[in-house]
Structures are given as C-alpha cells and as structure tokens.
Amino acid sequence: MGTTLTIPLITAAPSAAEPPRPALRTSGLSGLHAKAAYLSVGRTTWGRGADAARPIASITKLMTALVVVRAGHLDRTIAIRRKYRAYGLHNDASMAGLHVGDRLTARQLLYAMLLPSGSDAAYALVESHSGTWQRFVATMNATARSLGMDDTRFDNFDGLPWPSRTADSSTPRDLVVLARRALADPTVRRVVATRTYHLPKTGNHAAYTWTNTNRLLGAYRGARGIKTGYTDTAGYCLLFSARRGRRTAYGVVLGEPTSATRFTDATRMLDWAFGRRTAAIPLLPSRDQD
C-alpha cells in the first residue's frame, strides 16, 4: 500500500476567526526505512501499509501485559520454575535472567517482561494467569476482538516465531489501537515509561536490574514508551508514544532493517507530529536485539 494521509474533512465553510488549515507536508516521512508504519496525533493520521498484517515480534508482550493487568491481583507471588528459563534459552529469546526458585510478584514480573523483554517472565505470568499458555493466548485474541483489532492474530504470548515464522501478526493501525488502550492503564503506563528498574535482594528473590530496550526514553523529550520487538522475519519493530504540551502522538514502525533505524524513523515521525525539525538523538550502542 502506498503512503496515505488522512485529514479530517471540513464540512462547513471556515469562518474569519477560523482560517483554513494548511495542507500537511509529509515529504519528510517519505524516506522512512520501515516496511510499514502508522502515526496518529489528534484527528490526523499518516500511514504506510497501515492495514497490511505483518509479524510483530515482542510487541506481542504488550497485549500479554494488558491481559495480566486487567485480571488484577498484581501483588500475588509467582514461583520461577526451571521450564521458564529453559523455554527462553531453547528459543534464543530475550531474557530477564530470572533465577529458578525465586518468588516475585506479578507486578515485578511485568517490569521483567516489558523492560528487557524477558520471555522467561512472560511465560511465568501467562502460566500463573491461565494455567496453560493456550488458554492465555485465547484470552489475548478475545481481548483483541473486544478492542476492534480485527486484523490481529496471536499464536503465542511473546512474539517468538513459533508455531510458524509468521506467528503473532497485526497491522500498524491495530497496534496504535493497542497502544492507546495500554497507556490508558496507569500500571502499564508506569512500567513502559521506566528506563531502569532495580529490585533489591530479599528472602524471596535475588537482586535484579532491568533496563528498558526502548532507547527513545531519556533521548526524546516527552517519550512515554512503549515496546520494542525483533525477529528475523519481523525485522526490528517499535511501538511508541510521546506527549508534548496538550498533544499526544502514537506510532509504530515494523520491518526496520536495523535497531537504530527504528528509533531514528520514530523520531522523524514524532517530530512531524509535533511540527518540529528532526534533530539527531544520542543513541548508545546496544547489544539488545529485541
């Protein structure tokens, strides 16, 4: 699908007090590296391949978090089992480094899942919630339908390429719907905006430090999160949001060729949304692929 721009229709002639809006210039977005992208700010949207379903990698974990948070009881403790670590190691997944035998709360595991994108933490949350990952994934898909995400399909709980390489697919437009709903929840909003989370050692668990893989945080003024993702099939992905003044922008890039380009493309989109000239942002080298 080609690049599209949607601007609210003016149904009445503008008055002298309300001059016509100038046409928005989108030439600055024509050189994005993403295979698909979408941006929403106010009533204005811009998209490329906005309604084409693509694999979304670990952006899936945002829906996992939303299902867990909606169920409540976030201060219940969850025992870390060997199979949670084994699952992540077997699939070469991003890990939170959880220790077998530790007991952490569901709230703490949300940080472990969403900041370093830990698949071990995701598995622990899913099994605690539903008993089996299959039942949990069914709830994820039911939640997607309830939100109007009709072009989204979840096959697993963390975005890894199983049972097929194209598992967990969605459209850029659907993902922005998910971003809006997730950030409306204060718990999710707080977690995804956290740059680093320190958990001191207690009698229940070891000490942990988890760092957010979203490098817009602290580098782009007003950035609010939300979630990174990467697999060979999906490419580098980023679902993001920022607020400046009274304006809030939501956006997503999918199928980026490198980790760095997803952040630079997101910066260009946000600058366009806020009517500002794009400036380079300092991005430290990262070993994280998610």
Question: How does DSSP classify residue 59?
Answer: G
Cite the active site residues.
58, 61, 117
Compute the distance between CA of residue 185 and CA of residue 149 in angstroms, rounded to an integer: 18
The HSE-up count of residue 249 (CA atoms within 13 Å, CB side) is: 25
Identity at 161, one-letter amino acid code: P
Which candidate, 154, 207, 187, places its Cα nearest to that of 73?
Answer: 187
Compute the distance between CA of residue 58 and CA of residue 115 in angstroms, rounded to an integer: 11
Is residue 70 within a helix (H) or strand (E), and if so which, with residue range? Answer: helix 60-71
Widest Cα–Cα separation across the chain: 70
Identity at 236, one-letter amino acid code: Y
